[in-house]
Structure 1
Amino acid sequence: MAHYFVGDIQGCFEELQLILAKVDFNPSKDELWAVGDLVARGNGSLQTLRYLKSLEASAKITLGNHDLHLLALNGNIKRPNPKDKLAELLSADDLPDLIAWIRKQPLVQTLPSHNIIMSHAGIPPQWDLATLLTEANAVSQALQQDDYIDSLIAKMYTDQADLWDSAATGLPRLRYCINALTRMRYLFADGSLDFKCKSPIQDKPPQLTPWFEFNSPLKQSHTLVFGHWAALMGVVNQPNMQALDTGCCWGEHLTLWHLETNEKIQQHKIKS
């Protein structure tokens, strides 16, 4: 079995098919691990979701901020942005089935045999593995509730849940987990999340530090796989880190990491 980890697809379905062909991906024996942000910006969000859903157990998904935003669009909490190119998906006959499938996907995936943790944006440096799994599972359970749109999706849009508080309960705790696992890039010195800066590290304000440069128990024991931060272009200069968002939807390329060979395969954006 081969394990392939792919960066933010964001509707770049044609590029996904081309990069999987390069490695002769076979879902009967291989697994595709996707770091989230499956939809938006590219032309093939509908095809991407249909394909990943069809892989069943051969696809391991973590949800990204764009995937959660799709749930908000479906629940009429937000209005579509034409730049996201989601009209075809939102009008598809099988949208309810695709939404139900997305709601079953977690915010974190682990591969214990190789000490790998995958999430969309990263892992809060304050968390150990037990905390990570507990908090992510709480969000997954909330997404499975019948009233998930009103109780969670409609209330998750806030920048106030920016600092981990182990004493917090209920919605504030869920909000922090979503913000950290799907939106995190830079942190302030106290570990609180910054939601504004997306700059490359060399251009960052001095008061901010990339989350992966903080001391963390999981950095020492696991390989952390994430996407979300296209400005990094895969460069983190940290051991046990795999940054896979390389901006395919912005005209750059899609990146696939082959675990067993430690090889990175790339597919440039197809010009339309």
Structure 2
Amino acid sequence: MTLPEAPSNDVWVIGDVQGCAGALRALLAHPELSRPDTELWFAGDLINRGPDSLGALRLIQSLGSRARAILGNHDLHLLAVVAGVRPPGKSDTFQDILAAPDAAELIDWLRHRPMMVRDRGHVMVHAGILPAWTLDLAQALAGEIETALRRPDWHSALHDLYGEEPLQWDDALQGRDRMRVIVNAMTRMRVCHAEDGRMDFHHKGEPYATPGLVPWFELPGRRDPAEPVVFGHWSALGLHIRPDVICLDTGCVWGRSLTALRLRDRRIIQQDCTACR
């Protein structure tokens, strides 16, 4: 007698897909990821720059409750274009979404994605968490942005999200300044000034390449380091695993690989993305 296979209850976190639907489809076909009881977390930047943003978005949406996808800067950019806040860029590849017959449904689904997931003893955010924030505060701040994007007048909220200033958090921040810091930290931050913690949005290369700038996760005074933060956004950092942080952006859209990591034991599965380049 063959016993039924025990539920896995596993969580696999997948790095930046960025419209590489073919690579994602191949990765999800792996036996350990294809089980119906396996939960799949997506670390933001589901679309843009890759060859099939529409296919990637539809695929992730079709996973239903198995998928927990957060918003990245490219996903927010698409929402801003739809809202008329930003023009499409020359390198954007989400025109297929805008022209799709189910565009309204896909955009509605996308804007209801969270900014942050905190579960299974881990935190997932697209870019990072400011060291001044406890995780309880970060979760509450993420909720402020989520609420704004889920309102009927969500288009107006996008006007407040763009701009680099202010570069630091202050508990007294209100309005658009407050929203900008939250969104910039969670979806754009890579490095900060070592002297005072100001975010820097010009450095996109390898860590420590610019004197005086350090990765956000190496700033002193970080709160709640016992809950590891899983993030993407930084392809030059690549696969980076240590007890308190895990980076999973392995540059699929640049022809490298799409990475999935199992939370319970840090097992890695990677899919070659040569065709995405």
Q: Same fold (TM over 0.5)?
A: yes
TM-score range, shorter chain: over 0.9
My pick for the range that moved more, 209-218 or 172-181, is 209-218
State whether structure 2 residue 90 is matched by structure 1 residue 85: no
Given candidates 219, 244, 247, the residue that maps to 2:248 is: 244
Give yes or no for contact 1:27–1:58 (8 Å, CA) kept in 2: no
1:173 aligned residue (173, 178, 189): 178
Q: TM-score, normalised by structure 2?
A: 0.92
Deviation at 1:200, TM superposition (A): 0.3
Instruction: Give the match for residue 54 of structure 1.
Output: 62
Q: Distance in 1 between matches of 2:166 and 2:76?
A: 17
Quick one: distance in 1 between partners of 2:177 and 2:229? Answer: 25
Shift of 1:159: 0.6
Across the two proteins, how many residue pairs are aligned to each other?
A: 266
Pick from 54, 71, 90: which aligns with 1:63? 71
The 5 Å alignment of 1:95-134 reads: 95-111=103-119, 114-134=120-140
For 1:198-238, what per-residue CA distance to the aligned partner results, in whole angstroms no more than 9, with x for missing partners? 110142x211111011231222x2011000000001136x4
Moved more, 20-29 or 166-175: 20-29
Moved over 6 A (4+): none
Aligned equivalent of 2:50 = 42
Identity %: 38
3-state SS of 2:236 partner: helix
Cα distance change on mapping 1:91 and 1:261 into 2, 3 Å? same
Give 1:19's aligned amino acid: L
Q: Which residue of 1 aligns with 2:232?
A: 227
What root-mean-square deviation, in Å, do the aligned CA atoms of Structure 1 and Structure 2 show? Answer: 1.5
- Specify whether residues 26 and 19 from structure 1 end up closer, same or farther in structure 2 by C-alpha distance, changes over 3 A only: closer
The range that moved more, 162-171 or 60-69, is 162-171
Name the structure with the higher helix share: 1
What TM-score does the superposition give when structure 1 sets the normalisation length? Answer: 0.93
Gaps of 5+ in 2: 1-8
Shift of 1:76: 2.1
| In structure 2, C-alpha distance between the alignment counterparts of 1:213 and 1:197, rounded to whole Å | 16
Q: Tell me the residue number matched to 2:102.
A: 94
d(CA) in 2 for partners of 1:258, 1:47: 24
Structure 1 stretches lacking a partner, 5+ long = none
Task: Check the 8 A contact 1:6/1:254 in 2, yes or no.
Answer: yes
